[in-house]
């Protein structure tokens, strides 16, 4: 693998550790570069791989956030509480 390809694709854990907004911004930049730049095949593949990791990381974070929102329950007093898994199933 060429040095350019290695530099273009950060380690998987780098994508996982990025804040959601930064990961999404990088993903948008990759899509833009792939659509608008005349990149060599190796660079396109590296960007595709990085984009795939970023997309998976963003999707996992969105799924976690959705689950947390679904687990929130508003009591009659208006106070929010987190449902327990048993209460969520009932």
Domain boundaries, the chain: 3-89
Tens of pLDDT, residue by residue over 33-75, are: 999 988 899 999 999 999 999 999 999 999 999 888 888 876 6
- Higher-pLDDT residue of 8, 63: 63
CA pair distance 71, 89, nearest whole angstrom: 10
Instruction: Report pTM.
Output: 0.66
Interval 78-89 mean pLDDT: 64
Neighbours of 36 (CB within 10 A): 8
CA pair distance 75, 63, nearest whole angstrom: 24
Length of the chain as a residue count: 90
CA pair distance 51, 39, nearest whole angstrom: 15
């Amino acid at each position: 693998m060429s040095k350019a390809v290695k530099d273009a694709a950060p380690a998987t854990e780098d994508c996982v550790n990025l804040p959601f907004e930064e990961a999404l911004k990088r993903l948008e930049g990759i899509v833009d570069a792939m659509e608008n730049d005349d990149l060599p095949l190796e660079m396109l593949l590296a960007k595709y791989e990085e984009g795939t990791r970023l997309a998976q990381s963003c999707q996992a974070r969105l799924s976690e956030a959705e689950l947390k929102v679904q687990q929130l329950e508003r009591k009659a007093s208006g106070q929010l509480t987190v449902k327990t898994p048993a209460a969520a199933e009932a």
